[in-house]
Structure 1
């Protein structure tokens, strides 16, 4: 049974191995032997999908939306195998809105992997569903930045302050009036203390003059643009929301291992869509 009171849905992509050869063509005529008649690709929807430097597939790309409460696939879109993941979000959400209008109106959050975290996709999610895209920081080409702030060694590529003892400072909140994030000490602050962390006495004295609750460090929003001001990725609220995203990875695993989604033996986008639909329907039937 599909939940209709979902507050959040998850979106992600996966590959479906193709029964095709990349760029292989076939004749469109009945001529015998070689001829000058036009040729077409045997499968114009496949592409090289690289999982790592050592692993790649000739595949179709599947984008899917699932409800985090129901644990069932709700919407699918099929793309050429080499389509960037970040470019699949808008058409997938548009399809979801068309197929599940009531649920789309209720959603407040779309949970997605870090590859989706761009200003364009934040805008797309808001424009299409009036929802918030919840995705971790993707540092891309950013590097750690040194800082002259007392007791702070650097701001790492994820926008987190690192103290001179090498510990990540804990985000405790933000000051919207001043446009600043507020970080506290993960060793001494009672609400941020992490088990097992220690701080040498000399560093404790240098960083915060031995203050009982440790260092409080403020940083301007514009110093870490990779952090989402509306829902900072280093905060507890984000962690709780984002923890539900893994449901879509389990759904892909179940569909591939139990419903024959790992490889498709038909060619062409329309045939792949039909195959995916059968797999999704079968999962819904078994759930009921």
Structure 2
């Protein structure tokens, strides 16, 4: 007798295709890119993911059945660890509480996909055709469920089950292009009917836990690189952004290494993943209600409770290559860039040989980090200057000069910024020259301070600044140079990538908790972006 997984049922495809008038209108509407992307959705390329989903669905149903049949102990077991002890232990297990930064381990979140048996053949499924199993209801079509999530993101809504359900219940054209059919009040169950919100939540949970969103994202980016939709560049750019967490926090007091007790740190509240009536005495462990969330400090007056994401992409095209959740929200931005670029190179080795430079903001202005990029990845790291709270210099300046800013900009008494021209290495001097006006003449000729500054100069004032006055300036790569400024003009392109992922096809306020759900949210927005790029 053949096992259930090998029984094949021939399902005849639909031979009648109805075309609605409003579908024709949407196909010719410039503002309905979402409809064209779903109408011409290349489902053949996603057959492997569909087969993996049906296998994961089978494993998921068996797992839930085992939970229902599992005998729960009747007597309550007193928990050996108190809530306060669990709170302190979870606090010191966080990445940002590790004293030795080199031993922190992974800074970025990695999806631990569950293993499963391969039983469904990719060639046996298609839109409307699902694998056969003895017992149970016929499952919903994978391709219809997938299109409903991606279509929600393409329309600018967060690709979460509640938003997907809302659109399926209110937009008939969206229902048809996804592959569903409306359900009447007295209709019996049919796999083509609009799924319930609970079924959409189950689909999203399976795709997240088994790492299918991440696999689909990698496949789309790889395809866009191979087909030329993404041109390989010589530079990559990165930055981090925050999403508002769907949770609260509490302030935890702890002792530091010196035994001082007045140390405080914000942390997600504790909970238990069980339904026991008396959680204080049950045997289950305390866990963080929103793992990965933390206080993200932008400035002294700007602090946010949320999750942090790292973005890496190509600056000239403004195309993100990867979006990755940071394991602990308060992690410093300078610690996320290197492991993320390394992860991108491992995932897409075709771009590693072409990329020669990495761009970032002042969070990565570190000589040790620049050496690490060059030694391990062979990349030149360009970062905006971080003066590290240095004040402007007003003493020991050449005559006629008012101050030197912490960024190496010299300002004269006339309020003009001197142009940086280069340096004399043998004399250890930076060279500055007076700027010119719109007519090409030096501004010194009309300056009120010319008499005391440069009375005999015809070409404008030229000064030399000793290296010692600007010890924090890297003489091998001074940020005042025109070449450095020209390169760094491409760094803000990552802000446009963040805006597209965070605002155009998503939302900055999360509706789920935990790093797993946050990473899945980032993967779904990346999939929608690169699907739109293909169209």
TM-score bracket, shorter-length normalisation: 0.7 to 0.9
SS of the residue corresponding to residue 211 of structure 1 reads coil
2:476 to 209, 225, 230: 230
- Which deviates more, 176-185 or 60-69? 176-185
Distance 1:164 1:92 in 2: 46
Work out whether 1:76 is the aligned partner of 2:76. no
In the TM superposition, residue 149 of structure 1 has moved relative to its aligned partner by 2.3
Distance 2:497 2:522 in 1: 13
1:197–1:210 distance in 2 versus 1, CA, 3 Å: closer
1:20 to 225, 247, 250: 247
Preserved CA contact (<8 Å) 2:442 2:460: no
- Structure of higher CA gyration radius: 2
SS of the residue corresponding to residue 241 of structure 1 reads helix
Preserved CA contact (<8 Å) 2:357 2:379: yes
More helix by share: 2
Distance 2:298 2:520 in 1: 25
In the TM superposition, residue 217 of structure 1 has moved relative to its aligned partner by 1.4
In the TM superposition, residue 95 of structure 1 has moved relative to its aligned partner by 1.1
Task: State the number of aligned residues.
Answer: 284
SS of the residue corresponding to residue 272 of structure 1 reads helix
1:127–1:197 distance in 2 versus 1, CA, 3 Å: farther
Distance 1:197 1:71 in 2: 44
In the TM superposition, residue 10 of structure 1 has moved relative to its aligned partner by 1.1
In the TM superposition, residue 103 of structure 1 has moved relative to its aligned partner by 1.8
In the TM superposition, residue 135 of structure 1 has moved relative to its aligned partner by 2.2
TM-score normalised by the chain length of structure 1 = 0.87
Structure 1 gaps of 5+ residues are: none
Preserved CA contact (<8 Å) 1:159 1:226: no
Q: What residue number does 1:174 align with?
A: 423
Q: What residue number does 1:215 align with?
A: 461
Q: What residue number does 1:39 align with?
A: 286
1:1-288 matches, cutoff 5 A: 1-4=229-232, 6-22=233-249, 23-36=268-281, 37=283, 38-79=285-326, 80-145=328-393, 146-187=395-436, 199-200=447-448, 203-288=449-534
Distance 1:142 1:285 in 2: 46
CA deviations 1:171-224 (Å, max 9, x no partner) are: 012233433321111257x97957x99521xx2232223301122112233431
More strand by share: 1
Runs (4+) off by over 6 Å: none
Preserved CA contact (<8 Å) 1:78 1:269: yes
Distance 2:335 2:242 in 1: 15
Distance 2:436 2:417 in 1: 10
Preserved CA contact (<8 Å) 2:309 2:324: yes
Distance 2:280 2:339 in 1: 40
1:74–1:156 distance in 2 versus 1, CA, 3 Å: same
Preserved CA contact (<8 Å) 2:402 2:412: yes
In the TM superposition, residue 58 of structure 1 has moved relative to its aligned partner by 1.8
Aligned CA-pair RMSD: 2.6
Structure 2 gaps of 5+ residues are: 1-228, 250-267
Distance 1:191 1:65 in 2: 41
Preserved CA contact (<8 Å) 1:97 1:129: no
SS of the residue corresponding to residue 77 of structure 1 reads strand
